[in-house]
């Protein structure tokens, strides 16, 4: 019994051991994506990258669009300045024409009275009233002179007075016509200014609306970028700002390179001028020494007299360095003040308003219109630029009549200007946008 129990126990233990260890299952085969799944994933990744690229391009285009709208608004404002400038000219011409017509009319009236006095004297001297009566009709003076009886009683002085009267009548009629034409021109200029004002207001409104709309669009697009890149909006915003700053720095570096080239050209020109001035002074000194030798010891030595003039050396170019310094100081004092079209101070400016105000401080009167400013100053080349000179941009680089923007040169390839709506008075490279077209010196 004991043996059977032992065997049974061993058998049970063995059986339990067999039950406790389960049999291992066969390994599952690996999941291998199909080629179509791989292709779909690649396509999705490419689409995502394309979306990112498209949004980045849209953001860049939005920035360029804002800049373009700002420039267009500034151009519209300068067109208005031109319309106002022509209106002021037309008003001045109309006033001058009116004054001429009034003076001529007074002269004609005085001469008419003189002829009347001659006629009255002739009548009192025995002339026939019936013969001088025609004097007071439309063709009176001529009929009076044609009359044989009157001819015997009217003196040579009266005939001379009549000739002067006839000439004055022609001149008076011409002046009246000029006056009428000038008044018509004023009306046309007034209409032009009104239309230009409406266009400038519309351009500014469009720019303001675009700034708001593009701001909303920009935020939405940056949010899309965050989703596509699996980042936060803050990170996406920082990245976009970084990309835009990088683009700005590249543009600034290119502008700085061009400005440095200009600085070198100007420095070379100034060195050449200084060298030529020294050579000219040396030549004059040699001539004076030779003259002294030829004239002998009887010649009295010349007394040195200080040279007359304003203190600044203009290098023979007519540059008013003292006035330029005053103009620059005034312009720099306006840094940060807002751009407002048609504004000319004291706390807001447009491009030609700023340069007009700056040079007014230096005692130079310029019109509030960039085209007219260029017309009224000395024209120079880019390599002849000196601080205080004016720089102009035009629609057509060969036609100064298409000028739409003006800035003041500071030296070293930099300038100060009132750029456009949304950008206050600031300093920039003269190549910040595109190369300028014309240059001038007040």
Residues 194 and 60 in one domain: yes
For a pLDDT cut of 90, what percent of the chain falls above it? 25
Determine the Cα–Cα distance for residues 262 and 155; give it in Å rounded to an integer.
79
Q: Is residue 240 part of a domain?
A: no
Q: Is residue 441 part of a domain?
A: yes
pLDDT of 306: 40
pLDDT of 188: 84
Q: Which CA distances in Å does 381 have to 154, 259, 262, 385?
A: 69, 15, 11, 7
More confident position, 142 or 184:
184
351 is a catalytic site residue: yes
Token pair listed for 381: 């080349």
Phi and psi for 431 in degrees, rounded to 5? Answer: -110, 20
Kindly calculate the radius of gyration of the chain based on its CA atoms and give it in whole angstroms: 44
Q: Is residue 58 part of a domain?
A: yes
Tens of pLDDT, residues 248-295: 777 777 777 887 888 888 888 778 878 888 888 888 888 777 777 766
Boundary-marking domain end, from 166, 197, 229: 229
Q: Is the dihedral of CA 201, 361, 370, 73 positive or negative?
A: negative
Determine the Cα–Cα distance for residues 70 and 73; give it in Å rounded to an integer.
5
CATH number of the domain that residue 167 is part of: 1.10.287
pLDDT of 387: 95
Neighbours of 390 (CB within 10 A): 28
Tens of pLDDT, residues 109-163: 877 776 776 666 655 555 444 444 555 555 555 555 555 444 445 555 566 666 6
With 0-12 CB in 10 A as exposed, 13-18 as middle and 19+ as buried, what is 402? middle
Residues 216 and 323 in one domain: no
Q: Is residue 65 part of a domain?
A: yes
Q: Is residue 128 part of a domain?
A: yes
The H-or-E segment that residue 392 falls in is strand 390-394
Determine the Cα–Cα distance for residues 73 and 62; give it in Å rounded to an integer.
16
Q: How confident is the model at residue 356 (pLDDT cuts 50, 70, 90)?
A: very high
405 is a catalytic site residue: yes
- Domain boundaries, position 222: 42-229
Residues 324 and 220 in one domain: no
Residues 57 and 186 in one domain: yes
Q: Is residue 239 part of a domain?
A: no
Average pLDDT, stretch 343-364?
96
Q: Is residue 133 part of a domain?
A: yes
Residues 179 and 57 in one domain: yes
Boundary-marking domain end, from 188, 213, 229: 229
Spatial strand order of the sheet with 403-411 comes to: 378-380, 438-441, 390-394, 403-411, 414-417, 426-429
Tens of pLDDT, residues 207-260: 777 777 766 776 776 676 666 666 656 666 666 677 667 777 777 777 778 878
Q: Domain count of the chain?
A: 2
Boundary-marking domain end, from 212, 229, 246: 229
Q: Is 240 helix (H, G, I), strand (E, B) or coil?
A: helix
pLDDT of 440: 97
Question: Which of 10-14, 18-22, 71-75 has the highest average model confidence (pLDDT)?
Answer: 71-75
Choosing from 294, 351, 368, 379, the catalytic residue is 351
Average pLDDT, stretch 347-364?
96
Q: Is residue 105 part of a domain?
A: yes
Residues 225 and 323 in one domain: no
């Amino acid at each position: 019994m004991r043996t059977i129990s032992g065997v049974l126990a061993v058998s049970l233990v063995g059986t339990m051991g067999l039950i406790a260890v389960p049999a291992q299952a066969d390994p599952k085969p690996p999941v291998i994506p199909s080629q179509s799944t791989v292709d779909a994933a690649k396509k999705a990744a490419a689409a995502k990258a394309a979306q990112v690229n498209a949004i980045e391009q849209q953001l860049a285009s939005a920035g360029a669009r804002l800049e373009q709208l700002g420039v267009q608004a500034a151009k519209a404002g300068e067109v208005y300045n031109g319309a106002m400038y022509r209106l002021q000219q037309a008003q001045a011409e109309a006033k001058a024409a009116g004054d001429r017509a009034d003076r001529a009319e007074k002269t004609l009236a005085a001469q008419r009275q003189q002829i009347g006095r001659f006629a009255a004297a002739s009548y009192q001297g025995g002339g026939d009233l019936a013969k001088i009566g025609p004097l007071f009709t439309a063709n009176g003076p001529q009929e009076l002179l044609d009359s044989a009886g009157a001819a015997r009683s009217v003196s040579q002085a009266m005939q001379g007075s009549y000739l002067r009267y006839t000439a004055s009548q022609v001149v008076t009629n011409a002046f009246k016509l000029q006056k009428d034409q000038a008044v018509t021109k004023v009306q046309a200029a007034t209409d032009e200014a009104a239309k230009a004002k409406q266009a400038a207001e519309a351009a500014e409104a469009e720019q303001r609306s675009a700034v708001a709309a593009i701001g909303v669009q920009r935020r939405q697009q940056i949010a899309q970028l965050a989703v596509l890149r699996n980042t936060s909006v803050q990170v996406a915003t920082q990245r976009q700002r970084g990309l835009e700053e990088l683009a700005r720095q590249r543009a600034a570096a290119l502008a700085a390179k061009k400005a440095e080239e200009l600085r070198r050209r100007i420095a070379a020109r100034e060195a050449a001028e200084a060298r030529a001035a020294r050579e000219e002074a040396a030549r004059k000194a040699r001539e004076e020494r030779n003259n002294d030798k030829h004239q002998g010891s009887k010649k009295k030595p010349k007394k040195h007299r200080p040279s007359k003039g304003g203190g600044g050396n203009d290098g023979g170019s007519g540059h008013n360095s003292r006035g330029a310094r005053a103009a620059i100081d005034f312009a720099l004092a306006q840094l940060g003040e807002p751009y407002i079209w048609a504004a000319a101070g004291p706390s807001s400016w447009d491009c030609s308003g700023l340069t007009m105000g700056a040079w007014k401080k230096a005692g130079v009167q310029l019109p509030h219109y960039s085209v007219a400013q260029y017309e009224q100053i000395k024209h120079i080349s880019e390599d002849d630029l000196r601080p205080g000179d004016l720089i102009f941009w035009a629609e057509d680089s060969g036609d100064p009549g298409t000028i739409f923007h003006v800035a003041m040169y500071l030296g070293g390839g930099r300038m100060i200007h009132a750029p456009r709506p949304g950008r206050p008075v600031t300093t920039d490279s003269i190549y910040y946008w595109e190369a300028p077209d014309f240059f001038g010196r007040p």
